[in-house]
Amino acid sequence: MIDEHISCPALVVAAPSSGSGKTTVVAALARYFTNLGKKVRVFKTGPDFIDPNFLAFASHQPVYQLDFWMCGEQHCRRLVAEAAKEADLILIEGVMGMFDGQCSSADIAAKLGIPVLAVINAGAMAQTFGAIAYGLANFRQDISMYGVVANRVGSTGHAEMLKEALPDTLEFCGYLQKDIGLSLPERHLGLVQAQELDDLDDRLNLAADLISQHVNLKLPPKSQFVPVASAKPERRLEGITIAIAQDTAFSFIYQANLDLLTALGAKLSFFSPIQGDELPDCDALYLPGGYPELYLKELAENTILKQQVHAHVNNHKPVLAECGGMLYLNNSLTDIEGKSGEMCGILNANSRMQGSLAALGLVEGELLPGETLRGHTFHYSKTDSSEEIACHPVSQRGRKLDPVWRHKQVIASYIHWYFPSNPELVANIFKGAL
């Protein structure tokens, strides 16, 4: 029997474009209400890994991704409804511009029935602010606009001009000034990772304090969510220990993936290749993506771990390697400056970082006949490999991408897989049943 509707205050925080300040506003709001003792649950629209790290740090709660194609609409509805049972506030950070993509911020807001808080970079405009806000609110008729926050505002007078430019039907929820020390350092895949910033707590508390001074911070109205029934997966990984690389070189891990592995019965054992850890006693190995190119020396010098991974593979134990995890298994990895590091040498392949984006998008791979797994790819390297090709994944738009390679029980590719898109197939991977 499905319970009655669940109610919880919620907002989708969207913007006209990337770079408008969505992450800053969401992190500041999350930290402000968390500091007040509220339980804030945050979600990120799209497959991003970097922003969720900051949002989890700000809210002290795990952050999940929402994408109706990669994750499935019912799965997304279930995640949000379950969060609503325990949360005082749900914040969903949008992706790109508000209407961009095949699962846009507006799509999330419309299908989940959540109002939108728009963040507009007003640093180089005045009355045009009102036109942009009006367009966001009226481009589609199936969304509800909660209000507008102006970002990178020059002065109190500038903020007043922006407020006056809004139509009476739109609420001016406040502003953040420019040059207030909240910008976060970036690198080629986005922001520097949250765990790399020693002063992140101070930055977030400053953001929460500043946003409290100029933004109307009352809780939004409650949205209604319908619980979604979901059968528990068969515990096919009962008794299996999966070693998972986790540090700043291997950090691109969906929380939903870890949840599923645990629900399948697996025991998870984490280790850090760059800290010199050895491989834990395990039945399977999961090497997620990240930034191995920044740690060539540390990875090359951990020779004991490389030998243990070789033994694991030679014993025909399963390995799933995603993007940076795959680069680690190759013969060598060369960074953007031409410096090379000797990697595991398990896959007969070599990879080189480059200055331009090599691939980006949501993908699907058929790892067994008729059995597909979805995920996304986002990388700046090129790989030359002579390994067996397991399949050619295709993008959401049907374009063929870099292969999925197979070596013994190793499945390696540039794809960051979203495990809940096919739990049975994931169980087969970690049981070595492909």
Active-site residue list:
323
What's the rounded Cα separation, in Å, for the pair 232 and 86?
20
374: enclosing H helix or E strand: strand 371-379
For residues 307, 320, 324, 390, the Cα torsion angle rounded to the nearest 10 degrees is: 110
The neighbouring-strand residues paired with 10 are: 90
Classified as helix, coil or strand, 79 is helix
Residue 408 falls in which region: left (phi positive, over 0), alpha (psi -120 to 50) or beta: left
Give the CA angle between residues 45, 47, 50 to the nearest 5°: 95
Left if phi > 0, otherwise alpha if psi is -120 to 50, otherwise beta: which for 60?
left
DSSP-assigned letters across all residues of 172-212: EEEEEESSSS----EETTEEPPGGG-TTHHHHHHHHHHHHH
Number of C-beta neighbours around residue 212 at 10 A: 16
